[in-house]
Amino acid sequence: MSAVTKAIIPVAGYGTRRLPLTKAIEKSMLPIGDRPLVDYAVADCIQAGIKDIYFVINRTLGDTTQIETYYGKNSLLAEFLADRKASEKLAKLQTAPEDVRFHFVVQDPNKQYGTAVPVALVLAAAERGEVPAIGADESVAFANGDDFFWDGKSSEMANLLAGVAEGEAATMPIARKESEMPSFGMVEVADGYMTGLVEKPELAAVTSNLANTNRFVFCPKLLQMIAEYVKTHDFSPLEQEYMITDPILEFIRQGGKIKVVPAKSEWLDGGSLDGWFYANQVVLGK
């Protein structure tokens, strides 16, 4: 089993698919049941043994994000509930175990943008000492903040970590119908390892039914390649996104191995309105 204890979760997007609601509420804080959307990815990581979670956030809504508030302390509310001996409600204020640490790296979404940017920002902040260091020999997990896996009991991040050797990179795709693949990144596989990753392929070019979910374990070399890719390219926000696909494909071209560990539970997308509604039905058992 891979000894991975750190995870990066990007949540800095504007959430434009969910406007006008996301004008005032961060997309990753939209409710699924009685918890915010992002908390399902967080819980998945915690169940897998992750102890340090690096959120990549933006502060366009104020000095403190709603995610920081949710995972922080609320002394006044705790005192209010304690005075009224509301022990069950008081327990709900503990949104994560005490030994799990949350770190926040700010991204300006009006500048560099794309799936590779959060990784580069976290590594740069760690090098500057703004967040805990990531060792040169450490692998790091990566999960989206607006989708999650769900079966009500197990952790897919734990399954991913259990399926990869220490120091090895890995990814966790989902099976999709051929007709759905143009809406996803297509993961090409041979002998259990990724051989290609094609963003939103044309239907005629679909050769795999495995869709990318942006669930990864990044080994040290791949982490550095992603950071270097962002550092050495200069795309304007309107020109091109910094797609994580590019350094991943370069890593593979250089002989790097990315283990493919297929998901076992259902993947739910809370970022779209239809996906969010369906995710609530699944989680609430409706």
Apex CA 108: angle with CA 53 and CA 122, to 5°?
A: 30
Could you give the CA distance from residue 19 to residue 21 in angstroms, rounded to a whole number?
5
Q: Confidence class of residue 74 from pLDDT cuts 50, 70 and 90?
A: very high
Overall average pLDDT of the 126-141 stretch: 95
Q: Confidence class of residue 1 from pLDDT cuts 50, 70 and 90?
A: very low
The pTM of the whole model exceeds 0.85? yes
- Of residues 238 and 35, the one with the higher pLDDT is 35
Q: What percent of the chain has pLDDT over 70?
A: 98
Architecture of the domain delimited by 6-169+214-242+257-284:
Alpha-Beta Complex (3.90)
Q: Confidence class of residue 210 from pLDDT cuts 50, 70 and 90?
A: very high
CA neighbours within 13 Å on the CB side: how many for 15? 32
Q: What is the pLDDT of residues 214-230, one digit of tens each?
A: 999 999 999 999 999 99
Q: What is the pLDDT of residues 241-256, one digit of tens each?
A: 889 999 999 999 999 9
Residue-wise burial string across 162-174, b where 16 or more C-beta atoms lie within 10 A, e elsewhere: ebbeeebbbbbbb
Cis status, amide bond into 20, omega within 30 of 0: yes
pLDDT score of 64: 81
Torsion-angle region of residue 260: left (phi > 0), alpha (psi -120 to 50) or beta?
Answer: beta
What is the β-pairing status of strands 140-142 and 6-10?
parallel
Q: Confidence class of residue 62 from pLDDT cuts 50, 70 and 90?
A: confident
Q: Confidence class of residue 239 from pLDDT cuts 50, 70 and 90?
A: low
**pLDDT over threshold 70, residue 18:** yes
Beta-bridged to residue 32, according to DSSP, are: 35
pLDDT score of 238: 66
Mean pLDDT of the chain: 93
